[in-house]
Amino acid sequence: ALQRTLEGVHVAISAGGTREPLDPVRFLGNRSSGKQGYALARVAAQRGARVTLVAGNTADLSTPAGVDLIRVGSAVELRDVMHKVSADADVVVMAAAVADFRPVTPAGHKIKKTSADPDPITLTKNPDILAELVSARREGQVIVGFAAETGDETTSVLDYGRAKLKRKGCDLLVVNAVGDGKAFEQEDNAGWLLSADGAETPIPHGSKAQLASVVWDAVTARSTDSQ
Ligand code: PMT
């Protein structure tokens, strides 16, 4: 039988967008509001989990009751905190929108406006936190990734998601379509839940809390199966 409680389970969830500094006052960022990650945290706490929520930049959201909140800025800070909290977590969910690149050397002072043309911004790769957490996975730990995809002429959102699941090596992957005003900053979401064992579950359009419930049902079903 499907056991829906997360009693005694420690879950670590990332939410929101990273900010990659250009100088002390400027950054490269993205439109993630944190709403999806906070909804995952709220539903997990309601189901009895101990929840550590690691949040980058978010909209003005209230911290769900009973959730431990840790704030971070850049992708590198998020990585350090996720490694620490994951060492003690039974389930890890990466719902944060992590910048793939960061300015290679942020200026130590505010970049001045001059009459000369501005310098180009040189970027370097950020670590792939999800892939690192998969490499460091503890025995029995369940790792859930997200894939924010836009389809194109040749490849659908779902096919990009399938490829990402294989590449990242996580146990579950939520694929959500973005662009055209979808998912980012919205109250609603939709997509698919892909499992490493090949199962593919469509997630009907609904609130971010409803999507979160689908994720926690799948996580709970996995641990019940393996007992
Ligand atoms: O915050 P909201 O406004 O509510 O919007 C929710 C959301 C659209 C941001 C969320 O549902 C979502 O899709 N989050 C993941 C966004 C993302 O970065 O997707 P990606 O396809 O670029 O990355 C794939 C996965 O790898 C994600 O789990 C991401 O957290 C992780 N990643 C990505 C890059 C990186 N350097 N390190 C990572 O760990």
Q: How far apart are CA 51 and CA 192, in angstroms?
A: 24
Cβ-based neighbours of 141, under 8 Å, separated by 6 or more:
86, 89, 90, 91, 92
Model confidence pTM above 0.90 = yes
- What does the pLDDT look like over 80-118, one tens digit per residue? 999 999 999 999 999 999 999 999 999 999 999 888 998
DSSP label of 69:
E
Q: How far is CA 211 from CA 14, 105, 208, 216, 223, in A?
A: 16, 38, 5, 9, 19
Tell how far the Cα of 148 is from the centroid of ligand 1, in angstroms. Answer: 6
Task: Report helix, strand or coil for 127.
Answer: coil
Instruction: Among 98, 167, 189, name the best residue to mutate to test ligand 1's pocket (greatest count of ligand atoms within 8 A of Cβ).
Output: 98
Q: How far apart are CA 93 and CA 98, in angstroms?
A: 13
- What does the pLDDT look like over 184-211, one tens digit per residue? 999 999 999 999 999 999 999 999 999 9
Tell how far the Cα of 94 is from the centroid of ligand 1, in angstroms. Answer: 7
